[in-house]
Amino acid sequence: MLSRNSLKRMQVGIVLISIGAVSNFGQSTLSVNPSAPGAVVRNEIFGGLMEKGLGRGLKGGIFCGTDANIPHVNGLRQDVIDGFKEVGFGALQWPGGCAAHNYEWDRQLNPSNDIGTDRFMQFCQLVGCEPILTGTANSSWAPSNKAWLDYVNRNEDHPDWNVKYFQLGNEVWGCGGNYGSWGAYKPNYDANYDAIRGVAQNDDVELIAGTDGIWRFEPWLKEMLQAEGNRIELIEIHDYIYFPDPPDGIDHLNFTDAQYYDICNRANESQMKPRLDQIISILDQYDPEGKILIWEGEWGNWLIDDGTNGWRQAGTLLDALSAGETLNLFIRYAKRMMGAGLAQVVNVIHSIMNTESATGALVKTPTFYVFKMYLSHHRNNAKTIPFTLNSERVSNMPAISAATTVDDSIIGDNKVGNVNVSLTNIDLSQERTVNMTLSNVDGDWTCFSANVVTGPQKNSYNNYGQSEAVTMKPLAEANVSKTGERTFTVKMPAKSIAMLRFRRIPTSVRTDGTAAGAGTSFSIRPENGRVLVSSTVNMKTPVTVTMYSVDGRTLITSGAIKAGSSACTLEKLQGKGVYLVNVAGTGVSVTKKVVLTK
């Protein structure tokens, strides 16, 4: 967590982009190549920071106490646990932030009224994410840091505990030790490295090395890599957008259009991207094999909160759009990204959930739904794939940004898995059209899933006890048009983030309800929570009818149209959802998407 004094130094030179006339009204183009998969998108990219003692992030947020009336597991709120599982959080860093400096872990293993090491590990297990511990970097703490890792990773009472990542100091240029150079930090890093990684049983632990502040990472990074690149595994960087100190800060609910566009641009082209480009270029110079990865330990919109809730920002549609821009960037750079920690996850700064201690209420912020929508980008071994985007511009910046992946979901005779495309349209007022082509693949393709996050105003947010103003919804069918076998037109609503998923249709399958080569038409339709399947003629031979989840991987239920019959009903009620129904038999192969509304 950056100190306010260091923030003031970083604020020098911030210039808002003035709003000019919207230009290039026409259409953006996106060409995606699913046949050239690259780096795996790690789950840890979708991680977060949990800083001890900052606002109500832990106490009063994640931790409600063991005597609370709120449903909990050992004092850990059940609804928060469920929320983290819902969005697929991949990593959590604790106890800092700056709170990690001088944190005495062995005196706080399991405090009755707080989160200690035991509860943190329990929480990570309940959520299903990787734990990241942050220890003091000072060389005198090296034995303690090693003992901490031994306590967790060699705990006979908890053989299932495992920490893969240990960060040696947080913001070591500032609150984590005030080391002014790599030369000052080096002996401390070396002492910890020798204590931890010099022991054979710790070969499975990767150490995260500190760097200088993001605005002056040279010469520190170069000197570090020159001196002992073979002892550097991961590096820590932090990069916030804006900061809370007036007059440079921006109110979390009251911001102008110019400030909105500036934040969106900083989340991509004018701040986050050029800084990552520079860091990666240095890594490429000294580590051409790509072994050293980046932990973007703190990122997000740090705005002025309302002053009454200890660092809590409401979380608006702007925050969701900024998150979409940044996550698109992290996905594109997955080759060098070990992970990233949104700061912070509950009740503090750019959170995904906000809670009320007194009432037990919880709201999911718009950013929550962006993380949920992006699950496809890091599931089923999803990998980056190349794309070319020619975007229209708004207020002197790209209106559209994108990230693209392909996963391992193979159905039928597909040659590639599902293609996942996330798009943002930062234009405040105009729908934007994207003409999309899937290149270097064959066959006929379909868009089988499309969701969107948007809201009525740029500062729309979800409030306690009210209907959600911003959530994830299906993108209207009229917004996605199939214009050819492998071409589509996508209409992106103003100020929106979308996730579209594409699949190659197996050659033996038609999606219009007609059996290939059989001369028989089938009707597949939902009715009162059931699926009715009928043929225009009685079957001479039986056919099987099966219903799968929308990704085609999970069998829901099955049935059959018997010889001499022309219809069947899938009776097992599954509730609301989108499913694939398949009819198969001799000379028959039909698949159709069905939406159940009850």
In tens, the pLDDT along 374-383 reads 999 999 999 9
Bigger pLDDT: 570 or 335? 335
**Four-way CATH pick for 4-19+41-378: 3.20.20.80, 3.30.70.590, 3.40.50.920, 3.40.50.10860:** 3.20.20.80
Q: With 70 as the cut, is the pLDDT of residue 343 above it? A: yes
The percent of residues in the chain predicted with pLDDT above 90, rounded, is 72
Mean pLDDT of the region 458-487: 96
Q: Which residues of 78-87 are buried (b: 16+ CB within 10 A; e: fewer)?
A: ebbbebbeeb
Q: With 50 as the cut, is the pLDDT of residue 13 above it? A: no
Q: With 70 as the cut, is the pLDDT of residue 187 above it? A: yes
Whole-number pLDDT of residue 201: 63
Instruction: Provide the pLDDT confidence category of residue 593 given band limits of 50, 70 and 90.
Output: confident
Bigger pLDDT: 171 or 411? 171
Give the full edge-to-edge strand order of the sheet including 28-32: 387-390, 28-32, 432-438, 487-492, 480-482
**SS3 string of 496-556?**
EEEEEEEEEECCCCECCCECCCCCCEEEEEEECCEEEEEECCCCCCCEEEEEEECCCCCEE
Q: With 80 as the cut, is the pLDDT of residue 573 above it? A: no
Helix (H, G, I), strand (E, B) or coil at 111: coil
Range 522-596 has CATH code 1.25.40.80? no
The percent of residues in the chain predicted with pLDDT above 70, rounded, is 90
> 89, 127 in Cβ contact below 8 A?
yes
Mean pLDDT of the region 59-72: 96
Instruction: Provide the pLDDT confidence category of residue 510 given band limits of 50, 70 and 90.
Output: very low
Range with the lowest mean pLDDT among 203-212, 394-403, 487-496, 539-548? Answer: 539-548
Over the chain, what is the mean pLDDT?
89
Whole-number pLDDT of residue 404: 98
Domain 383-454+465-505, CATH:
2.60.40.1180
Q: With 50 as the cut, is the pLDDT of residue 511 above it? A: no
> 377, 41 in Cβ contact below 8 A?
yes
Q: Which residues of 142-170 are buried (b: 16+ CB within 10 A; e: fewer)?
A: bebbbebbebbbeeeeeeebbbebbbbbb
Mean pLDDT of the region 191-203: 82
Which segment, 305-319, 457-471, 570-584, is predicted with the most confidence on average?
457-471
Instruction: Provide the pLDDT confidence category of residue 387 given band limits of 50, 70 and 90.
Output: very high
Whole-number pLDDT of residue 572: 64
Whole-number pLDDT of residue 22: 42
Mean pLDDT of the region 273-290: 97
Bigger pLDDT: 193 or 578? 193
Q: With 70 as the cut, is the pLDDT of residue 18 above it? A: no
Q: With 80 as the cut, is the pLDDT of residue 17 above it? A: no
Angle among Cα 49, 191, 288 to the nearest 5 degrees reads: 70
Whole-number pLDDT of residue 125: 98
Distance between CA atoms of residues 428 and 577, nearest Å: 31
Q: With 60 as the cut, is the pLDDT of residue 222 above it? A: yes
Bigger pLDDT: 39 or 242? 39
Whole-number pLDDT of residue 514: 40
Whole-number pLDDT of residue 588: 75
Angle among Cα 540, 543, 544 to the nearest 5 degrees reads: 165
Q: How far apart are the first and last CA of the chain?
A: 46
Helix (H, G, I), strand (E, B) or coil at 438: strand
Instruction: Provide the pLDDT confidence category of residue 292 given band limits of 50, 70 and 90.
Output: very high
The residue extents of the domains of the chain are 4-19+41-378, 383-454+465-505, 522-596
Instruction: Provide the pLDDT confidence category of residue 544 given band limits of 50, 70 and 90.
Output: confident
CA atoms within 13 A of residue 198's CA, in its CB half-sphere: 10
> 211, 237 in Cβ contact below 8 A?
yes
Under 8 Å CB-to-CB from 178, ≥6 apart: which residues?
none
Range with the lowest mean pLDDT among 12-16, 269-273, 447-451? Answer: 12-16
Mean pLDDT of the region 167-194: 95
Instruction: Provide the pLDDT confidence category of residue 319 given band limits of 50, 70 and 90.
Output: very high
The predicted model scores a pTM of 0.84
Whole-number pLDDT of residue 15: 35
Range with the lowest mean pLDDT among 170-184, 332-346, 512-526? Answer: 512-526
Distance between CA atoms of residues 549 and 215, nearest Å: 47
DSSP per-residue codes, 210-277: P---GGG-TTHHHHHHHHHGGG--EEEEEEEES-SSTTT--BSS---HHHHHHHHHHTTTTTHHHHHH
Mean pLDDT of the region 524-534: 87
| CATH fold match for the domains 4-19+41-378 and 383-454+465-505 | no
Mean pLDDT of the region 7-11: 39
Range with the lowest mean pLDDT among 16-25, 174-183, 280-289? Answer: 16-25
Mean pLDDT of the region 392-396: 95
Whole-number pLDDT of residue 535: 84
CB count in 10 Å sphere of residue 508: 14
Bigger pLDDT: 513 or 143? 143
Bigger pLDDT: 387 or 532? 387
> 471, 453 in Cβ contact below 8 A?
yes
Most distant pair of Cα atoms in the chain: their distance: 84
Distance between CA atoms of residues 553 and 409, nearest Å: 8
